[in-house]
Structure 1
Amino acid sequence: MLFTCEKSRLCVLVCTAVVVGSLFIASKAWAECLLRDDSRFNLLDNSAVVEDANTGLHWQRCLVGYRLNTEGDSCALSVNGAVRFDWRGAFTAASNAAGWRLPNVKELESLVDRNCFEPAVQTHIFPTIDDVMMGAHWTSSQIEGYAGGAWTVNFKTGSVISSDKSELLPVRLVRDAQQ
């Protein structure tokens, strides 16, 4: 339903309240994200890997093609690294990292934090520096009945979406805790 304001004080007040309320909700979600309990994640391997206590999985903190800085608080582009892959390339990137694999959709979605807002992930655990890190990420899960598509997790919104396998998207690798 659309309406227009024609210099009505009431209309201006209502419109202002809606905008301010939206900003408050967004900032509240962001603040809650920053104040989350860190007991779920344990940093390993000089902080380049994080163990998820909820799932027992180990995750690379940075995407393929990025590396953790010496302070352990942000990811930087690798000199020779590609950062986006088609779906087949995502599997190749995973196979080039000994002991690591492409996560399935449920595993990758488990990293989404619904209390976080753009991105929907704990950024002090999984640092984001650009839109590549905030968008859709490949999973190993194909879309049943559609050979040309696979499931992806969008870390900007926290949603699971379908993507064409030819799209160029980033990859976050996972391994089982026993390794």
Structure 2
Amino acid sequence: MKVLIIFLGLTAFTALAQNCNTDVPNTAPTSRFNVGADGTVTDNLHKLMWMQCSLGQTWDGSDCVGDADELTWQQALKTAHGYSFANKTGWRLPNIKELETLVERRCERPALNETVFPSSQSDDYWTSTPVATDPVRAWAIAFFNGSNTARTKQAFLFTRLVRNAN
């Protein structure tokens, strides 16, 4: 009987939709971004261009479809090196400060602007920033609630690439 209760609890948890508190100011408002037709998003404040979808997903013109890839830190760095998307090069793994700019503090599950970044995972995303005091860990942003976390570089996490906007 306990197993059934736990299973039902997990099922209910995964079915939850994004929850936003409108009493909290926007930290990543839609007006800050230019959404391109090619699956790119330009952050006008921070002068960065983001892939609208996580690695592994495909932009279909209105949504990110497919399953996002889960990669180790080294795999994410290697995949980003030389990556070409939307006829653009220079894509890379964002550092922790860059990825934190996408966090929408008024929301959770995911703590991200779903209008700009649809079908994103409510889970950890890699940054290029290693943990200075622990060579086996790197920083990630937990888009469940927008916190940062040190994860072992062998963990399998999601990835969103960035480049400098031109």
Q: TM-score range by the shorter chain?
A: 0.7 to 0.9
Aligned equivalents of 1:134, 1:33: Cα separation in 2: 20
Aligned equivalents of 1:87, 1:163: Cα separation in 2: 9
Aligned equivalents of 1:175, 1:94: Cα separation in 2: 10
Which runs of 5 or more structure 1 residues have no equivalent in the other structure?
Answer: 1-25
Stretch moving more, 143-152 or 92-101: 92-101
Structure 2 matches for 1:52-91, cutoff 5 A? 52-70=43-61, 72=62, 74-77=63-66, 83-91=69-77
Corresponding residue SS for 1:51: strand
Stretch moving more, 150-159 or 47-56: 47-56
Greater Rg over alpha carbons, structure: 1
Partner of residue 8, structure 2: none
Q: Is the contact made by 1:33 and 1:122 (CA closer than 8 Å) also made in structure 2?
A: no
C-alpha spacing 1:28/1:171, structure 2 compared with 1 (3 Å): closer
Aligned equivalents of 1:31, 1:141: Cα separation in 2: 32
Partner of residue 20, structure 1: none
C-alpha spacing 1:27/1:175, structure 2 compared with 1 (3 Å): closer
Which has the larger helix fraction? 1
Corresponding residue SS for 2:158: coil
Aligned residue-pair number = 143
Deviation at 1:38, TM superposition (A): 2.3
Q: Is the contact made by 2:91 and 2:162 (CA closer than 8 Å) also made in structure 1?
A: yes
Which runs of 5 or more structure 2 residues have no equivalent in the other structure?
Answer: 1-17, 84-88
Match of 1:128 among 116, 119, 123: 119
Partner of residue 15, structure 2: none
AA aligned to 1:138 is W
AA aligned to 2:149 is I
Aligned equivalents of 1:162, 1:75: Cα separation in 2: 27
AA aligned to 1:63 is S
Identity %: 34
Aligned equivalents of 2:53, 2:107: Cα separation in 1: 18
Misfit runs of 4+, over 4 Å = 30-34
Aligned equivalents of 1:64, 1:165: Cα separation in 2: 17
AA aligned to 2:112 is V
Higher RCO (C-alpha 8 Å, min separation 6): 2
C-alpha spacing 1:147/1:128, structure 2 compared with 1 (3 Å): same
Q: RMSD value over aligned CA atoms? A: 2.4
C-alpha spacing 1:32/1:149, structure 2 compared with 1 (3 Å): same
Partner of residue 21, structure 2: 29
Matched, 1:175 2:166: no
